[in-house]
Structure 1
Amino acid sequence: MGLNETVYNLIFKRTSTMTLACIASAFFFERTFDLVTESFFEKYNEGKLWKHIKDKYQQ
């Protein structure tokens, strides 16, 4: 049995398992994308964000 047949039998054969796989993959993609973009934003704006400069302005 090849990989294609195994994936088909485990995930795509029934609509319920395919729907669950789509929801789970969308959730994990969203979390990963959010973490990557947040990391990029903070790295790109190093020293410009409030959490980096608040010590200069707080009493």
Structure 2
Amino acid sequence: MALAKSVYNLLFRRTSTFAVTIMVTAVAFERTFDLAGDAVFESLNRGKLWKHIKHNYEKN
């Protein structure tokens, strides 16, 4: 209960800190979701993407 009260007093008591908390959480969630989606896409398409096969077509 003390942890919940501390979090409430720190982040949710005032409207301004509540709004900032929501914005920061949204940006962090978006970044994490984007990275996870890219990782899943690349794992499903391994060997089919340009960065995986470009060595076959580039001349050094």
Q: For structure 1, which runs of at least 5 residues remain unmatched after alignment?
A: none
Q: Which amino acid counterpart does residue 36 of structure 1 have in structure 2?
A: A
Moved more, 11-20 or 49-58: 49-58
Percent of aligned pairs with the same amino acid? 53
CA RMSD of aligned residues (A): 1.3
Q: Deviations over 1:1-53 (max 9, x none)?
A: 71121111111110000000001011111111111111111111000001111
1:35 aligns with 2:35: yes
4+ aligned runs moved over 6 Å, structure 1: none
User: How many pairs were matched up?
Assistant: 59
Matched, 1:17 2:17: yes
Q: Structure 2: any 5+ residue segments left out of the alignment?
A: none
Whole-Å separation in 2 of the counterparts to 1:58 and 1:4: 58
TM-score (norm 1): 0.87
